[in-house]
C-alpha cells in the first residue's frame, strides 16, 4: 500500500463534470489499494470573482480580509469533491487549512508554512477515508486564516506529502508532463520522463509555468518525489521530478530551454566607480520589494561606469521612479531603460561535465543575428537577455542546436 498525495489545479476542477472526473480518478486509485490525500484549488475563475466581490463591498480590503475571501473558493471545491466521492461510494473527509493545522507565519497573502499537524489525517486514512484538503491556505498562531500566494496549492500538496512521508506527490494539471520547451513554440518539443529537482527549480525560476517554484524548493528540501500528470488524459506516466542519484543513466547535457517574455532592462549611466555604488543603486530597489535578476557593471573608464540590471516588466515603472530619486545621490548622469526584453535559458545538470555549452549557445544565436545584451550563469544554466522580438526564433534554434527534439538527447 502506498500513500499518495494528489493535487488538482483550478482548471482540473473548473466545473461539476470535471470535479466528477477527479472523483472517479481518486476512487480508482483508492480501489487499487493506495491511501489518497487530495489537495484542490478553487474552481478556475472563482478566486477572481470573490476578490472582485470583496472589493465591491469594501473599496480597499486589507491583506487579512483578502485571505479570508480567497480561501472560500477552495472550501467550496472540497465540499463538492467530497460529495462526488461519496456518490462514487468512497468515504471522504474534507479539511480546511485551519482544520489540518497548516501553521504558517502571519505574512498575509504570502504566508510561509511552519508546521503541519498530520495526526487527524492519519487516523482518517487508517479508517479508510480519502482526505480532501483545501489548498492555498493555512492559519497563523493567532487563528487567523492565511494564504500561501500564487500557486500555493502546489506548495500545500508538497508540504502535506512531506509531513505524511508520502510515497509520491502527484501534481495534476492541464499538461501531461514537463517538456524540453513550450510545444506551442516548438512543436517538436519532447515530454521528459524524468528531470532532477535542480533542473526543475531552474526552469521554474526562469519562466516555466508547470510548477510553482516554492513547491519545487519544498520538495527538494524534504526529498518528496514529484510527478506531473494530466488531469484530462487517462494513463501515462507524466514526468517524475527526482534526485540526480536516482537517475541511473547518464543525463543529457541539456534538459530544456526555458524563457520569460516579461523582462525589462534598466541602465544607470555615468556613475562613479567606487565601493558601495551597487548598494546605493540596488538598495532602494530591494527595499521596494522589487526582484532583480541579471546584473552587469561595465569596465570603469575615467573613474565612471554604467550599471545595468533586469526586473520583471510589471515592476519597470516603479523601478524607474526609484532610480530617478537616487540618481543625484549616486552621482549618475542618466537613467535609461528598455521594457521589451526577454530571457532565454538552457538548463541541464549535464553541463557540469561538458565544456563548450556557452560557445555553442552564443554561436547559434549569432548565426541568426540575435544580439545578446546580458548574460548570467550558474552551474547548470546559462541565461541571456535579448530583444523580445527574437524570443521565439531563439528558442527554436537553440532547441534544434542541442538536439532536444531527438529521443535520447
Q: Residue 332 in 3-state DSSP?
A: coil
Residue 324 pLDDT greater than 90, yes or no: yes
Sheet holding 226-230, edge to edge: 92-95, 130-134, 35-40, 3-8, 168-173, 226-230, 239-242, 194-196
**pLDDT score at 61:** 56
Whole-prediction pTM value? Answer: 0.82
* Domain definitions of the chain by residue range: 3-174, 257-401
**pLDDT score at 352:** 82
**pLDDT score at 307:** 92
Q: Per-residue pLDDT averaged across 213-227, rounded?
A: 89
pLDDT, one tens digit per residue, over 358-367 is 999 999 999 9
**Helix 316-330 vs helix 277-287: angle between axes, to the nearest 10 degrees?**
140
Which one is predicted more confidently, 162 or 209? 162
The vertex-228 CA angle with 255 and 399, nearest 5°, equals 25
Tell me the CATH number of domain 3-174, given options 1.20.1090.10, 3.40.50.300, 3.40.50.1370, 3.40.1160.10: 3.40.1160.10
pLDDT, one tens digit per residue, over 109-163 is 778 899 999 999 999 999 999 999 998 888 888 888 888 877 788 999 999 999 9
Range 360-367 contact pairs with CB under 8 angstroms and sequence separation of 24 or more:
360/401, 360/402, 361/398, 361/401, 364/397, 364/398, 364/401, 365/394, 365/397, 365/398, 367/397
Q: Which residues contact 234 (CB under 8 A, 6 or more apart)?
A: none
Which one is predicted more confidently, 135 or 394? 394
**Angstrom distance (rounded) from CA 153 to CA 58:** 27
Residue 54 pLDDT greater than 50, yes or no: no
Q: Per-residue pLDDT averaged across 344-362, rounded?
A: 91
- Of 237, 235, 233, which is closest to residue 175 (Cα–Cα)? 233
**Angstrom distance (rounded) from CA 344 to CA 306:** 23
Which one is predicted more confidently, 10 or 22? 22
Confidence of residue 53 (pLDDT cuts 50, 70, 90): very low
Quick check: 22 and 81 in contact, CB under 8 A?
Answer: yes
**pLDDT score at 251:** 60
Quick check: 92 and 132 in contact, CB under 8 A?
Answer: yes
Q: Which residue, chain included where needed, has cell 482548471?
A: 11
Question: What Cα–Cα distance (Å) separates residue 295 from each residue in 8, 89, 136, 301, 399?
Answer: 37, 58, 33, 18, 26
DSSP string, 253-266: S--EEEEEEEEEEE
**pLDDT score at 59:** 52
Query: 165: how many CB neighbours lie within 10 A of its CB?
Result: 11
Q: Mean of the per-residue pLDDT values for the chain? A: 87
Strands 137-139 and 145-147, how do they pair?
A: antiparallel
Q: State percent of the chain over pLDDT 90.
A: 57
**Angstrom distance (rounded) from CA 369 to CA 382:** 19
- Of 128, 126, 123, 125, which is closest to residue 90 (Cα–Cα)? 128
DSSP string, 144-172: -EEE--TTHHHHHHHHHHHHHT-SEEEEE
Q: Per-residue pLDDT averaged across 317-344, rounded?
A: 92
State whether the Cα torsion 186-187-189-191 is positive or negative.
positive
Residue 203 pLDDT greater than 90, yes or no: no
Determine the distance from the C-alpha atom of residue 369 to the mean position of all C-alpha atoms in its chain, rounded to a whole number: 32
Which one is predicted more confidently, 205 or 351? 351
Q: Which residues contact 177 (CB under 8 A, 6 or more apart)?
A: 191, 192, 228, 229, 230, 236, 238, 239
| H-state helical runs in 252-380 | 277-287, 316-330, 357-367
CATH superfamily of domain region 257-401:
VC0802-like (3.30.2130.10)
Q: Per-residue pLDDT averaged across 381-401, rounded?
A: 96
pLDDT, one tens digit per residue, over 256-292 is 999 999 999 999 999 998 889 899 999 999 999 899 9
Element (H, E) at 134: strand 130-134
Amino acid at each position: 500500500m502506498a500513500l499518495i498525495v494528489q493535487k488538482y489545479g483550478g482548471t482540473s476542477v473548473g466545473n461539476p463534470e470535471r470535479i466528477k472526473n477527479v472523483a472517479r480518478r481518486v476512487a480508482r486509485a483508492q480501489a487499487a489499494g493506495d491511501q489518497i490525500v487530495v489537495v484542490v484549488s478553487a474552481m478556475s475563475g472563482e478566486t477572481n470573482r470573490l476578490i472582485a466581490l470583496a472589493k465591491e463591498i469594501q473599496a480597499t480590503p486589507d491583506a487579512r480580509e483578502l485571505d479570508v475571501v480567497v480561501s472560500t473558493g477552495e472550501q467550496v471545491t472540497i465540499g463538492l469533491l467530497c460529495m462526488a466521492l461519496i456518490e462514487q461510494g468512497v468515504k471522504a473527509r474534507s479539511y480546511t487549512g485551519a482544520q489540518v493545522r497548516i501553521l504558517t507565519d502571519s505574512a498575509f497573502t504570502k504566508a510561509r508554512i511552519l508546521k503541519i499537524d498530520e495526526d487527524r489525517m492519519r487516523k482518517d486514512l487508517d479508517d479508510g477515508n480519502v482526505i480532501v484538503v483545501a489548498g492555498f491556505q493555512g492559519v497563523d498562531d493567532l487563528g487567523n486564516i492565511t494564504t500561501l500566494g500564487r500557486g500555493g496549492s502546489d506548495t500545500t500538496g508538497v508540504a502535506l506529502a512531506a509531513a505524511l512521508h508520502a510515497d509520491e506527490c502527484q501534481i495534476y494539471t492541464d499538461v501531461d508532463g514537463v517538456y524540453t520547451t513550450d510545444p506551442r513554440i516548438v512543436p517538436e518539443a519532447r515530454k521528459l520522463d524524468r528531470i532532477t529537482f535542480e533542473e526543475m527549480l531552474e526552469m521554474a525560476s526562469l519562466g516555466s509555468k508547470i510548477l510553482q517554484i516554492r513547491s519545487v524548493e519544498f520538495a527538494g528540501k524534504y526529498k518528496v518525489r514529484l510527478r506531473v500528470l494530466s488531469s484530462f488524459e487517462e494513463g501515462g506516466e507524466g514526468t517524475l521530478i527526482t534526485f540526480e542519484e536516482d537517475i541511473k543513466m547518464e543525463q543529457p547535457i541539456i534538459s530544456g530551454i526555458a524563457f520569460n517574455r516579461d523582462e525589462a532592462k534598466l541602465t544607470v549611466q555615468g556613475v562613479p566607480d567606487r565601493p558601495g555604488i551597487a548598494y546605493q543603486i540596488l538598495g532602494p530597489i530591494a527595499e521596494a520589494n522589487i526582484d532583480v535578476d541579471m546584473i552587469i557593471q561595465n569596465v570603469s573608464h575615467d573613474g565612471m561606469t554604467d550599471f545595468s540590471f533586469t526586473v520583471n516588466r510589471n515592476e519597470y515603472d516603479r523601478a524607474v521612479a526609484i532610480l530617478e530619486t537616487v540618481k543625484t545621490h549616486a552621482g549618475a548622469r542618466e537613467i535609461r531603460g528598455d521594457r521589451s526584453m526577454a530571457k532565454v535559458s538552457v538548463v541541464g545538470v549535464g553541463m557540469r561535465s561538458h565544456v563548450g555549452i556557452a560557445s555553442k549557445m552564443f554561436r547559434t544565436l549569432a548565426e541568426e543575428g540575435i544580439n545578446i545584451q546580458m548574460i548570467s550563469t550558474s552551474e547548470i544554466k546559462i541565461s541571456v537577455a535579448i530583444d523580445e522580438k527574437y524570443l521565439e526564433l531563439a528558442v527554436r534554434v537553440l532547441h534544434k542546436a542541442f538536439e532536444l527534439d531527438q529521443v535520447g538527447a
